[in-house]
Structure 1
């Protein structure tokens, strides 16, 4: 399987799972398809030779944000979930018209840029290739980021992790049901 075919397959899986997340009425299925969306997006980063961003995608979004969404889902009461399920089921309605118009306008702008730009003849791309200012798979950028993260930036990294843990504990405490006896 060529890289181009693999890219198109991963792109299709990412878009299909994202559309399913947005259109699904079942919250549990949406959360698990969001997991698929984030993992296939990490796969696209790997294909783009952005290994560090792919690993960050998996660790932060799949490992952190998605787990936080699952906690919020599990800690929410049945009444809240029932209210979410009973909301308007119309995919297109008058109340959603401004968002739909904005999405269509954004799509038109993207398509216009795609057709009018000649990516291979951009000046900054030519200058980067001429100056040999490009990344290759053998560059050690991930190694340098890891060394800097565990030496120079260790204190801010640990402070952020403690802050996020405190936020998670606080959210769990606030969402806990109190017994009124």
Structure 2
């Protein structure tokens, strides 16, 4: 599987860019999965539901299945967060995995950047960031795309990963 990341600080436009890229790339007939890192606690389940009760009772994993989708929830129960490589191995094979977050991992990434967020550019100190998607001009030694130019960004990513 080919992997490529979208990174940036909070409110830089990462999720919107990811959403547009998934739509654009899948419209070209390629299969795409996503992996998103969350810096906070989250829960996809709800108190009172059967699956929630299974986890609360101590289940290490709960597989929830319907005719429309399935979800595997794994409880860490004090174990360290799994490494990105380990998580990628859990995904079914696809043409491309787009990764949101994971700033410090060594895979190639594009940095989403919005001037209004007033954050420093991560790319200045990180050569794994191979391009910038920005809402303002940036002088850097890598390609800079308009943050809203999804087609050009998708073309760049697909070329970078050999698709």
Q: TM-score range by the shorter chain?
A: under 0.3
**Which of the pair has the greater relative contact order for Cα pairs under 8 Å at 6+ separation?**
2
Structure number having the greater helix percentage: 1
TM-score by length of 2: 0.22
